């Protein structure tokens, strides 16, 4: 039996090395690489994907996985998790022919570049043919892989193991029922919030300083990670000991970098806290996008947008910006960071309306895979749904259908994990409150109690558990979106005196 | 026939992709990666080297190379060069068993780390066991590969195709005969040079500004490259359109960053000017280290340490540092950048004594592969040779045998290419002078004439020609070290009024 485990470990190391390279290339492209590097990078990514495919998909691996299946009972916990992980990955990739698999990598590079140009020029026509190709590929993938039920299920599964259209429909319906009337009530009866950040310039240098200090407060290990700048903030885990996050500094909008940094820090802590026992392995990373987003969001929203956070850290910010914040207080900052506005841009949305932005994308993606929409239809569908769900109509595609990078990379099925993450986060907060006072932990200016709970119940497991297993073991219950909707009702009723 | 070429191109693309990753990883490690990233990186490099080996060394490649050999006459120029390149690489790598090949990658990482620690602590004992292992591996490699003649020949060949101990002995003997008496004459009869840089602080910010401006002047394309900082300056070519150089700013020693930048820029221009027709290929890089160093040195020394350079660019530097350079002139800067001092550190050596530093290393490496020296002997041998060749004795191993990174990475045979490069550079300068006035080109503040000549005669060919072929075609003669020795005699006689 040992020899099968060893074979799998060997394969895992090599695939993990290729993954390491791909991650580093993406990081580098977004932060540093020179203008003309794009073609060489695209060609390299295509070759790496061929290598990856050929290494994984062959008779040897097939035989190995069969042998492991037959001897499953002899595997230890990590070995079993690794087997399951690769069995799933094998089935997912083997159904796609190798030339289509690597051609898709080339298409991703080109489509991303076209998307950038289209967004810059506010011209959907530049992106449309590439988007249609990406859609065609993903539709074909759905027929290859075909998990059954709604065609979109196959894609949802890739980002949140176990998620189906039936489950997601119910989840979003439940959210809508709470969020839509709550937003309406705020818009009609809520008090007006004056932001101390509005119209004030916060030089990047100071924002960097705050980012740096708040990362220390949140427990981000700078010997095992770095922070840099990029247009769109993101986290890239190279290994658990090399976790990289980015933020973006907008001098006229300081809250943006603050919450980007905290959000990405949440992703980063998840990766840094994965058990060393998992080694350098493809399973030594967050289990799904939904659970990953729960970690970014618990830091960004449950911690970062709490009253306790501003009570504790307002002085830190004011020390850096005494002039800009001379009339501000912890209270006004707290309110400003929770100001509800039905707006056009997802990543600038407040915590309450955020899920409505996700629902727009969810409905569109579902429609694409039902065959209702083609690329050319999306600008109009997008605008119609924003008008219906948020009451705002994008004046341009740059602030509408072109705002997100995801579709250019073929990431259909990804968006729902953002909303799920917010909901998981609230259930985790509730579970912590059974053990210690979550709020008090933030007020104590020592987040180690929270970090430790998350590490022990979520982070350390990497990909060895499914979301269902993690949620049940950590909270004692199955996933229950009511934690999220109750949290929203409580929080916003208080803020807006409803 | 097409199908063989296509198969080779496919293999070349995949190996080139792995090379791309390795280069990016090294770049990243030296410029950015966090402290704790070292183990994950080492593990990744080992896996990549296994992948590289397995992809290249197998029956398929063997058959392919045989088929190409048999149908050589049908190949075009690039195809033939690629075949020769891979035939050589195959023979070089196939003789080493795969586990030893990849284990060596792991050893390199560990030995480099031990070397860094040893240098920092000025304690050779930390490095010694690792160095001995590296020596043992390379001795074994020599027996595996065995090109015949002196065992060191096999290693020299890896860095300068065609170089042997016989050739190198004669080359260095010729240099010694000129350099040693010249240095002695300067020390006894030469005038004393007062440096306007001595004891003056040049803030890094200004040095960066000058680096940036001089790169533009030298023709470095910043859309296809970047400059960053690292402890030891180096050049890393990711692709011809993504060439990265580093420099190091020492506020008490401004000439250091100036000449590091110009040196690395020379390497960088070589890579950026390689013909696009070679595509993304392992042959789309400089042909050997000797030719590569000729390009860094022609920029650093023949251009950068010329009187014409300072006449043209002194004002550029003075505009940035008006206070520091208020009493300086083009003339005093020129003299200061050519001040001859028998010193301890190779990378800080002047152009004349530089080759003596190389000879010390050459003699030691030759002795190691003759079995005369083991790792433990090297500090003493080093000090003895410095005393003999340069008349200075290192007071510590940190400024002696521990100063260079090369041996920790197993790069025995590399050092001679530095001296060869200086010599090639002088022969290239002489060849240019037959076509246009080299000096006048520098004085015109437009280096495109020089750049164009180097591009057309050297750069564009990448690895498709050997050093011999390049030198003969570019200069109309075989390599002749007299161009170098005459250049040194002329230059230093004038500077020191001998």
What is this model's ipTM?
0.94
Residue A48 to chain B, least CA–CA distance (Å): 7
Q: How far is CA B85 from CA A46, B65, B283, B351, in A?
A: 23, 11, 7, 33
Per-residue pLDDT, A1: 47
Kindly list the residues from chain B whose CB atom is less than 8 angstroms away from the CB atom of residue A16. Answer: 44, 47
Q: Provide the pairing of β-strand B242-247 with A242-247.
A: unpaired
Q: Residue A413 region, left (φ>0) first, then alpha (ψ -120 to 50), else beta?
A: left
**What is B99-133 written as a DSSP string?**
HHHHHHHHHHHHHHHHHHHHHHHT-HHHHHHHHHH
| Alpha carbon distance B465, B77 (integer Å) | 10
- Asked if A331 and A310 count as a contact pair (C-beta separation under 8 A), the reply is yes
Nearest CA in chain B to A47: B14
Q: Tell me the two tokens of residue B461.
A: 């060919």
| Alpha carbon distance A137, A141 (integer Å) | 6
SS3 A41: helix
Q: Are B222 and A25 within 8 A, CB to CB?
A: no
Per-residue pLDDT, B60: 96
User: Catalytic site residues of B?
Assistant: 264
Kindly list the residues from chain B whose CB atom is less than 8 angstroms away from the CB atom of residue A241. Answer: 34, 36-37, 39-40
Per-residue pLDDT, A109: 86
Per-residue pLDDT, A8: 96
Per-residue pLDDT, B32: 94
Q: List, for residues B27-49, the tens digit of each pLDDT value.
A: 999 999 999 999 999 999 999 99
Per-residue pLDDT, B413: 97
| Alpha carbon distance B324, A229 (integer Å) | 34
Window 334-393 of A, Cβ < 8 Å to B: none
Strand order in the sheet with A242-247: A225-229, A242-247, A235-239
Flag whether residue B443 sits within 8 Å of chain A, measured between CB atoms. Answer: no
Q: For residue B216, is pLDDT > 80?
A: yes
| A479: Cα separation from own chain's centroid | 18
Q: φ, ψ for residue A246 (rounded to 5)? A: -125, 160
- Asked if B397 and B345 count as a contact pair (C-beta separation under 8 A), the reply is no
B247 beta partners: B229
Per-residue pLDDT, A43: 94
Kindly list the residues from chain B whose CB atom is less than 8 angstroms away from the CB atom of residue A235. Answer: none
Flag whether residue B195 sits within 8 Å of chain A, measured between CB atoms. Answer: no
The pTM of the full predicted model, rounded to 2 decimals, is 0.95
What is the Cα gyration radius of chain A? 23
Which residue intervals of A323-404 are DSSP H helices?
330-336, 354-369, 378-390
Per-residue pLDDT, A2: 58
Flag whether residue A14 sits within 8 Å of chain B, measured between CB atoms. Answer: yes
Q: List, for residues B111-154, the tens digit of each pLDDT value.
A: 998 999 999 999 999 999 999 999 999 999 999 999 999 999 99
Selection from A373, A474, A389, A377 nearest residue A425 by Cα = A474
Measured at the CA of B53, the angle between CA B48 and CA B54, to 5 degrees, comes to 100
Q: Tell me the two tokens of residue B37.
A: 């990233």
Place of tokens 């605008």: A383
Q: Are B238 and A40 within 8 A, CB to CB?
A: yes
Q: For residue B448, is pLDDT > 70?
A: yes
Q: Are A32 and B224 within 8 A, CB to CB?
A: no
For an interface test with A, which of B21, B230, B240 has the most A Cβ atoms less than 10 Å from its Cβ?
B21
Flag whether residue B180 sits within 8 Å of chain A, measured between CB atoms. Answer: no
Q: Are B40 and A280 within 8 A, CB to CB?
A: yes
Q: Provide the pairing of β-strand A235-239 with A225-229.
A: unpaired
Selection from B318, B210, B197 nearest residue B255 by Cα = B197
Per-residue pLDDT, B2: 58
Nearest CA in chain A to B223: A35
Q: For residue B109, is pLDDT > 90?
A: no
Residue B49 to chain A, least CA–CA distance (Å): 10
| Alpha carbon distance B312, B217 (integer Å) | 11
Nearest CA in chain B to A19: B44
Q: Are A55 and B51 within 8 A, CB to CB?
A: yes
The active-site residue out of A157, A160, A264, A351 is A264
Kindly list the residues from chain B whose CB atom is less than 8 angstroms away from the CB atom of residue A239. Answer: 37, 39-41
Tell me which residue in A24, A28, A47 faces B17 most closely, judged by beta carbons.
A47
Q: Are B24 and A21 within 8 A, CB to CB?
A: yes
| Positions of chain A with pLDDT lower than 70, given as ranges | 1-2
Flag whether residue A241 sits within 8 Å of chain B, measured between CB atoms. Answer: yes
Q: For residue B1, is pLDDT > 70?
A: no
Tell me which residue in B14, B44, B239 faces A47 most closely, judged by beta carbons.
B14
Q: For residue B447, is pLDDT > 90?
A: yes
For an interface test with A, which of B58, B242, B245, B278 has the most A Cβ atoms less than 10 Å from its Cβ?
B242
Q: Are A37 and B224 within 8 A, CB to CB?
A: yes
| Alpha carbon distance B10, B4 (integer Å) | 10
Q: For residue B209, is pLDDT > 60?
A: yes
């Amino acid at each position: 039996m040992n020899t099968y485990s060893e074979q799998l470990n060997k394969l895992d190391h090599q695939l993990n090395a290729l993954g390491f390279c791909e991650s580093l290339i993406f990081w580098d492209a977004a932060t540093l690489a020179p203008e003309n590097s794009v073609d060489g990078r695209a060609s390299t990514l295509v070759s790496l994907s061929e290598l990856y495919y050929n290494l994984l998909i062959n008779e040897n691996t097939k035989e190995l996985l069969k042998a492991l299946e037959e001897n499953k009972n002899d595997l230890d916990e990590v070995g079993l998790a690794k087997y399951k992980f690769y069995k799933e990955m094998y089935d997912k990739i083997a159904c796609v022919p190798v030339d289509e698999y690597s051609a898709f990598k080339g298409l991703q590079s080109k489509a991303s570049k076209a998307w950038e140009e289209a967004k810059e020029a506010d011209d959907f026509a530049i992106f449309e043919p590439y988007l249609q190709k990406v859609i065609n590929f993903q539709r074909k993938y759905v027929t290859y892989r075909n998990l059954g039920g709604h065609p979109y299920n196959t894609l949802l599964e890739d980002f949140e193991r176990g998620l189906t259209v039936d489950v997601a429909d119910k989840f979003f319906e439940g959210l809508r029922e709470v969020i839509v009337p709550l937003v309406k009530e705020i818009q009609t009866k809520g008090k007006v919030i004056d932001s101390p950040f509005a119209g004030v310039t916060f030089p990047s240098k100071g924002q960097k300083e705050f980012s740096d200090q708040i990362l220390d407060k949140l427990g981000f290990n700078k010997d095992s990670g770095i922070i840099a700048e990029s247009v769109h903030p993101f986290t890239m885990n190279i290994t658990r000991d090399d976790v990289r996050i980015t933020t973006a500094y907008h001098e006229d909008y300081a809250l943006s970098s603050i919450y980007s940094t905290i959000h990405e820090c949440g992703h980063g802590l998840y990766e840094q806290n994965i058990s060393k026992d998992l080694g350098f392995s493809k399973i030594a990373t967050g289990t799904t996008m939904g659970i990953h987003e729960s970690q970014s969001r618990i830091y960004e929203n449950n911690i970062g947008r709490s009253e306790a956070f501003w009570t504790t850290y307002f002085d830190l910010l004011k020390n850096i910006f005494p002039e800009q914040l001379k009339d501000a207080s912890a209270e006004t900052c707290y309110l400003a960071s929770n100001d509800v506005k039905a707006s056009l841009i997802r990543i600038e949305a407040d915590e309450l309306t955020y899920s409505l932005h996700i629902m727009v994308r969810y409905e569109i993606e579902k429609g694409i895979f039902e065959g209702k929409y083609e690329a050319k239809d999306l600008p109009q569908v997008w605008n119609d749904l924003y008008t219906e769900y948020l009451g705002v109509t994008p004046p341009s595609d740059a602030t509408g259908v072109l705002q997100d990078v995801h579709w250019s990379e073929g990431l259909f099925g990804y968006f729902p994990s953002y909303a799920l993450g917010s909901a998981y986060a609230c259930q985790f907060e509730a579970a912590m409150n059974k053990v210690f006072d979550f709020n008090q932990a933030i007020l104590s200016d020592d987040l180690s109690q929270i970090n430790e709970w998350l590490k022990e119940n979520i982070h350390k497991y990497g990909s060895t558990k499914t979301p269902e297993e993690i949620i049940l073991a950590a909270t004692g219950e199955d996933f229950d979106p009511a934690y999220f909707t109750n949290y929203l009702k409580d929080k916003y009723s208080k803020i807006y005196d409803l």
